[in-house]
């Protein structure tokens, strides 16, 4: 069934489409007609442009939205640095803080954190590049036990954040509207968009990738045709929603709202006496969105051999070299395997790309589960040219399997953040989290058997 059966029902309305130009108003008539910045926007609103690309970016790449809000976002006192943020000591731009090693790594499930909210519960595991140059990525895990305060908001100036929910739902209020993100859903919060995360079903845990350069796109389909993989119609964007909490001017108001900014992987804060969630209407193509992974239309071989895993790409962030991604988001959902005379799991591999994998639910067909295995809430990293593939038992099972049609991954979904960049690991990822499986390599491949037999006439 190509729709996930979620435990938590949907609570918001959306606009459907990927990369579409949307318009939405929470009050009828709030959107100007025929122009973007009239002398007096309707109802006394302020017009504010939100640019996700340079003004002169090619039309097919240009991303921007016009927001019509009660007060402009610039109306706040200066930001001040806060020293206790989760990013402060783990800057990807500081080479001394990242360790680049060729070893295969795997982590047990990361701990829950009952005392943290979404922002304070974020931990940088690995990364590459420099957000000040708008180059690279950051790979995170998050664990939250509390909703963010109703009078708070967070944004990142460093990049777009792709969130992969693993346990617990996230009810995300953004300037442009609400998104409910449940396990088996993903969302993307663009650079600069302010948001607030609530936990409607209790503690939450998951993964995230911050993209310092460009934006995610749908992969080209080539000879596949015009449909399949992630279809554009299945992506959902919010409708306008706003609050009224303000005084006679921007410096007056009955309440105080804390705004936290992530800027070059450091945190800064300011307080303002008016709500940041005051966008009454907006139009454009720069907005947050979500996607149900259960709607992914999987492609596979119906003759022989296992295709490259690129056929499972949901979203791609392209580099300046065609066909090479700064970041691909790839999933391994339930699927039928029917290839004849074929070793059906993913083959042994050394890759010019880095591969960070996580497991949302269930078991992964090429790795054992259970204690010390690849389990939901855990992760693995196979860096540039580090060999990897099925563990010994999985290989033997697939080598001897009866090759009749088989449904694999039922009730399961693994994913991969794949990047052309060599990825460094933080001290937290290697040591402080205390989740690294020290025996991963030996337990996975130390028992790989020798099947080689020299022919008698060789």
Q: Bridge-partner residues for 167, per DSSP?
A: 205
Cα(452)–Cα(215) distance, integer angstroms = 47
Q: Bridge-partner residues for 380, per DSSP?
A: 106, 357
- Which residues are within 8 A (CB) of 214 and not within 5 positions of it... i.e. 6 or more apart? 317, 318, 326
Closest CA to 353 of 320, 391, 326: 326
Active site residues: 306, 349, 355, 382, 388
Burial of 2 (0-12, 13-18, 19+ CB in 10 A): exposed
- Which residues are within 8 A (CB) of 417 and not within 5 positions of it... i.e. 6 or more apart? 137, 139, 207, 209, 327, 328, 329, 330, 355, 356, 357
Q: Judge contact between 68 and 30, C-beta under 8 A.
A: yes
Q: Bridge-partner residues for 269, per DSSP?
A: 80, 260
Cα(439)–Cα(108) distance, integer angstroms = 12
3-class state of residue 305 by DSSP: coil
Closest CA to 290 of 204, 207, 206, 172: 172
Indicate the length of the chain as a whole number.
458
Tell me how far apart the terminal alpha carbons of the chain are, to the nearest angstrom: 53
Closest CA to 49 of 15, 73, 17, 16: 73
- Which residues are within 8 A (CB) of 334 and not within 5 positions of it... i.e. 6 or more apart? 407, 408, 409, 410, 411, 412, 413
Q: Judge contact between 68 and 282, C-beta under 8 A.
A: yes
**What is the DSSP-derived secondary structure letter of residue 431?**
I
- Which residues are within 8 A (CB) of 226 and not within 5 positions of it... i.e. 6 or more apart? none
Q: Bridge-partner residues for 129, per DSSP?
A: 136
Closest CA to 212 of 162, 285, 153, 258: 162
Cα(50)–Cα(65) distance, integer angstroms = 5
Cα(271)–Cα(21) distance, integer angstroms = 33
Closest CA to 140 of 155, 157, 123: 123
Cα(212)–Cα(137) distance, integer angstroms = 6
């Amino acid at each position: 069934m190509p729709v996930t059966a979620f435990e938590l029902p949907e609570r918001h309305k959306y606009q459907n489409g990927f990369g579409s130009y949307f318009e939405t108003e929470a009050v009828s008539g709030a959107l100007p007609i025929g122009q973007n910045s009239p002398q007096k926007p309707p109802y006394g609103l302020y017009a504010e442009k939100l640019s996700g690309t340079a003004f002169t970016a090619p039309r097919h790449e240009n991303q921007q939205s016009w927001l019509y809000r009660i007060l402009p976002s610039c109306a706040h006192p200066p930001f001040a640095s806060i020293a206790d943020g989760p990013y402060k000591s783990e800057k990807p731009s500081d080479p001394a803080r990242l360790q680049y090693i060729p070893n295969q790594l795997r982590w047990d499930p990361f701990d829950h954190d009952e005392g943290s909210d979404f922002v304070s519960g974020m931990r940088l595991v690995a990364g590459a590049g420099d957000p000040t140059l708008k180059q690279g990525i950051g790979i995170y895990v998050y664990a939250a036990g509390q909703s963010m305060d109703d009078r708070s908001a967070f944004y990142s100036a460093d990049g777009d954040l792709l969130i992969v929910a693993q346990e617990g739902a996230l009810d995300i209020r953004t300037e442009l509207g609400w998104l409910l993100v449940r396990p088996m859903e993903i969302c993307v919060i663009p650079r600069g968009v302010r948001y607030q995360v609530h936990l409607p079903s209790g503690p939450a845990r998951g993964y995230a990738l911050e993209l310092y350069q460009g934006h995610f796109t749908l992969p080209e389909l080539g000879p596949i045709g015009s449909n399949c993989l992630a279809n554009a119609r299945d992506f959902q964007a919010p409708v306008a929603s706003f609050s009224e909490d303000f005084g006679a001017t921007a410096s007056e108001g009955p309440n105080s709202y804390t705004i936290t900014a992530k800027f070059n992987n450091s945190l800064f804060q300011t307080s303002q006496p008016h709500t940041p969630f005051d966008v009454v209407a907006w139009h454009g193509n720069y907005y947050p969105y979500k996607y149900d992974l259960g709607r992914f239309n999987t492609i596979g071989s119906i003759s022989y051999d296992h295709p490259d895993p690129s056929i499972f790409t949901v979203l791609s962030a392209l580099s300046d070299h065609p066909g090479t991604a700064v970041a691909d988001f790839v999933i391994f959902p339930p699927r039928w395997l029917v290839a004849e005379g074929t070793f059906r799991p993913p083959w042994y591999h050394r890759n010019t790309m880095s591969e960070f994998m996580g497991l949302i639910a269930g078991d992964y067909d090429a790795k054992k589960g259970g204690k010390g295995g690849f389990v939901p809430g855990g992760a693995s990293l196979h860096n540039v040219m580090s060999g990897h593939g099925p563990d010994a038992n999985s290989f033997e099972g697939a080598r001897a399997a009866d090759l009749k049609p088989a449904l694999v991954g039922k009730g399961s979904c693994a994913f991969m953040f794949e990047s052309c960049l060599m990825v460094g690991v933080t001290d937290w990822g290697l040591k402080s989290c205390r989740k690294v499986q020290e025996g991963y390599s030996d337990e996975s491949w130390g028992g790989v058997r020798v099947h080689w037999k020299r022919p008698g006439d060789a």
